[in-house]
Structure 1
């Protein structure tokens, strides 16, 4: 059975574990990561001219989309590079701009020269002009003099062309009669708003996704306190001793902490991370902290006497595993859209989990022990022996010499042995005394004879 100190430490570990689980759960559920904006939608299938001719509303399929972005096709990307980077390349004075959106919010603007210089390979998309006008125009400075890249789709001529329109037209909400989107190639074709004007935008990543993770051989493990996982019992109802097995289920929140300083660099913003772990993709906050619910099962057993029962407490050991890993970094834009960016080496991650579980067996419960049956005579004898043992045990702490000798008399030969020893000693003394007296008389006679002869 546990000592008082062991019980207290066990209880303190138990409550500490509850507190830790609450903290881990809070850090997991309250992850400060981006939630995908359901008002901002990304579509990868562009609209056909036939659909535009039928006046199909681009948001009919999802009326909740306040901003709908449609990614560029491969043909449109090639056309963009051909026109913007060759005919309006970096050597020209004029710059043409596009908007940057992250999760449906305006994040800034970029120039076509950034793309032509190979500085970045952004995810480009089209947003209908009226959506840009309703959601982002009020955030712009009316005094700026810029030109934005767009495309005009003309049904009558069955063609789509890159064009650019004025910043002033957007912020002042110019009417359709005065609005003009100028064709990039010839600079002499003009399109109005009725020609299905779409504005070029860059969709910035919502998160970074770490995939294809490979862990390096180096690992450092540190252990902390043990904690109570569950209580159970083992029962052997049989009449023969045998090995009895049992199991308990327990759950905990495994904390995952990625060292973001090993992930972010000059090419990456401080965005939340999606981390591939345990067959799932975990959502971490911008500090690299998250968690995953874990359910486990602990097995235990012991050899037990017949018809006995024993209580069991299953104790778990918390441990921190510090590991290094390599991974591929993907940009995640929302709506399941991701794109490979680069790879990282020697990233660092710490897993806080219950490393192992072990049973602690308590004293068997007397109510489950086999009862003792005796014959009447033997039963009385057993009772007398039990009383005698109890009496000796209770008298031992108050032990007294006189009481002990009173209750334990001398053996029969002991007084005679003492008396005989005294008599022998007296006889020896008398003999020694007589021998000394006789020897003294003889010496005295010799002295007298010697004196007479001298005279």
Structure 2
């Protein structure tokens, strides 16, 4: 595994984290660096070759060892292969293409000279090519491969080419010949330290120097329980009490791979620079990073009281566009700038905000508290509890519904209504009796007057 940010995922106590982790690990096809294939950037000196130093010393696990070309070797290659054996010539000289130590195909010197590609070229000892790749080749082909021969006695290194047949039939050192490129009037045997030219193809693309564009689209999702705690006010007077809880989650990163690969890139896994680390994404562009943080909260509390608190978090998705530099990553920490991309798309899924839920109400400071009643239900995904509503204010009706008055209250109300009805009937009867008496008195007065 490389040093470039192999993010280690660990399950959290909360089931949500485990579910999100599973989402991040779907269809992972990212490459793991082959520990049998090694790349080094420092060539062996003639003095080391003369002493017959084993190139595998110091790393005995390397089955295939590739050494990148020096600046002078690149200049010599361009001078000889592109001028003396340029694209106008009929003959083509081949080199092998390796990715992660596996044979991927072959290319010709004309591809390099025409500027079609700018490959990372390296040398692999002839015997390693013979042992690991010769059996994959068709023995009926008639090709010539580019190599270099180093003569220790003459202290000279020259580009040469050898036959495909010599490689696949394992020609002995006495009959093997690597013919010098320049004049082709000299040749070297296997005892002259023959190396074969190869191209190392990148394992991944690394997106670095990321700059986010102003456009962003944010949408919120369900809420989840982060932690539980208790606030205590041991003082003899009411005061504001503050607390905090630590919580962790996996921030999911989802890069829209179609916005990356449509810019003349092969479909390789991606390394994404984010939050001070380099994340390895799978072939769907999904990865994640562990986040550890704190949530702070507080409320005004009566003297010598305590309240239980559940801290819940709101998940949010941030969709953004970005520009970045694309680097080819070859393994063993070797990378090279390829080009720039514009308006790539990425989505971050993270806990964006938190809020406390106080389980015990404060009778004297209801309006100053942020209380939520869920009728004893747990804080789970809201879509699984559709009848649950969360309000940032104190719900008085809900509280009195959940805490009714003692049992005598209905009887008291009913009795009061009965007494009121009786009193009303008595008053109505008295008014009728008085009205009849008044009518009789008026009638007598009228009769006497007549």
The verdict on a shared fold, with TM-score over 0.5 as the criterion, is yes
Q: Which residue of 1 aligns with 2:440?
A: 429
Distance 1:323 1:154 in 2: 58
Matched, 1:344 2:341: yes
Distance change >3 Å, CA 173–CA 237, structure 1 → 2:
same
Q: TM-score, normalising length from structure 2? A: 0.82
Deviation of 1:362 after TM superposition, in Å, equals 1.4
- Superposed CA deviations along residues 322-363 of structure 1, whole A, max 9, x for unmatched, are 000000000000000000110001110000000011111112
Contact 2:302–2:362 (Cα < 8 Å) also in 1: no
Q: 1:144 aligns with which of 141, 164, 175?
A: 141
1:182 matched to 2:179? The reply is yes
**C-alpha separation in 2, matches of 1:204 and 1:149:** 18
SS at match of 1:223: strand
2:312 aligns to what?
Answer: 315
User: Is residue 232 from structure 1 mapped to residue 243 from structure 2 by the alignment?
Assistant: no
Match of 1:377 in 2: none
Structure 1: state its 5+ residue gaps.
1-16, 367-388, 440-455
Q: Residue 52 of structure 1: SS of its match in structure 2?
A: helix
3-state secondary structure, aligned to 1:263:
helix
Displacement of 1:432 after TM fit? 1.5
C-alpha separation in 1, matches of 2:337 and 2:409? 82
| Alignment of 1:23 onto 2:19 | yes
Shift of 1:26: 3.0
* 1:424, distance to aligned residue in structure 2 (A): 6.6
Partner of 1:67: 64
Query: Which stretch shifts more, 263-272 or 149-158?
Result: 263-272
Aligned partner of residue 432 in structure 1, secondary structure? helix
Assess if the C-alpha contact under 8 Å between 1:27 and 1:291 holds in 2.
no
SS of the residue corresponding to residue 261 of structure 2 reads: coil
Q: Distance in 2 between matches of 1:420 and 1:65?
A: 117
Cα distance in 2 for partners of 1:261, 1:151 equals 41
Question: Residues 410 and 196 (structure 1 numbering): CA distance in 2 closer, same or farther, change over 3 Å?
Answer: same
Whether 1:275 and 2:277 are equivalent positions in the alignment is no
Q: State the distance in 2 between where 1:24 and 1:148 align.
A: 50
How far off its partner does 1:21 sit?
A: 2.4
Structure 1 residue 153, shift from structure 2 partner: 0.5
Q: Secondary structure at the match of 1:75?
A: helix
Show CA shifts across 1:192-226 (max 9, x none): 11111000000000110111000000000011111
Distance 1:326 1:208 in 2: 14
Partner of 1:244: 241
Match of residue 375 from structure 1: none
Aligned ranges for residues 103-182 of structure 1 at < 5 Å? Answer: 103-182=100-179
CA shift, 1:425, in A, is 3.4
Partner of 1:5: none
1:52–1:302 distance in 2 versus 1, CA, 3 Å: same
Instruction: State the Cα deviation string for residues 204-260 of structure 1 (Å, max 9, x = none).
Output: 001101110000000000111111111111000111111111000111110001111
| SS of corresponding position for 1:176 | coil
Are residues 154 and 62 of structure 1, via their aligned partners in 2, closer, same or farther at CA, if it must alter by over 3 Å?
Answer: same
Residue 409 of structure 2 corresponds to 393
Report the CA distance shift for 1:240/1:87 in structure 2 as closer, same or farther (over 3 A): same
Alpha carbons 1:311, 1:364 under 8 Å: kept: no
The 1:29–1:242 alpha-carbon spacing in structure 2 relative to 1, beyond 3 Å, is: same
**Greater mean alpha carbon deviation, residues 281-290 or residues 328-337:** 281-290
Cα separation, partners in 2 of 1:40 and 1:393, compared to 1, 3 Å: same
Unpaired runs of 5+ residues, structure 2, are 1-12, 364-404
Bigger Rg over Cα: 1
**2:252 maps to what in 1?**
255
C-alpha contact (below 8 Å) 2:308/2:359 kept by paired residues: yes
Match of 1:93 among 87, 90, 99: 90
Counterparts in 2 of 1:361 and 1:176: CA distance versus 1, 3 Å = same
Selected match of 2:74 from 67, 72, 77: 77
- Give the whole-Å Cα distance in 1 for the aligned partners of 2:334 and 2:323: 22
In the alignment, is residue 294 of structure 1 matched against residue 305 of structure 2?
no
Question: How far apart, in 2, do the equivalents of 1:409 and 1:360 lie?
Answer: 50
The answer (yes or no) to whether the contact 1:28–1:292 under 8 Å persists in 2 is: no
Instruction: Please identify, of 418-427 and 203-212, the stretch whose mean Cα deviation from structure 2 is larger.
Output: 418-427
The whole-number CA distance in structure 1 between the counterparts of 2:271 and 2:84 is 40
Aligned partners of 2:442, 2:155: CA distance in 1, in Å?
A: 156
Query: Contact between 1:308 and 1:364, CA under 8 Å: does it hold in 2?
Result: no
Match of 2:352 among 340, 355, 361: 355
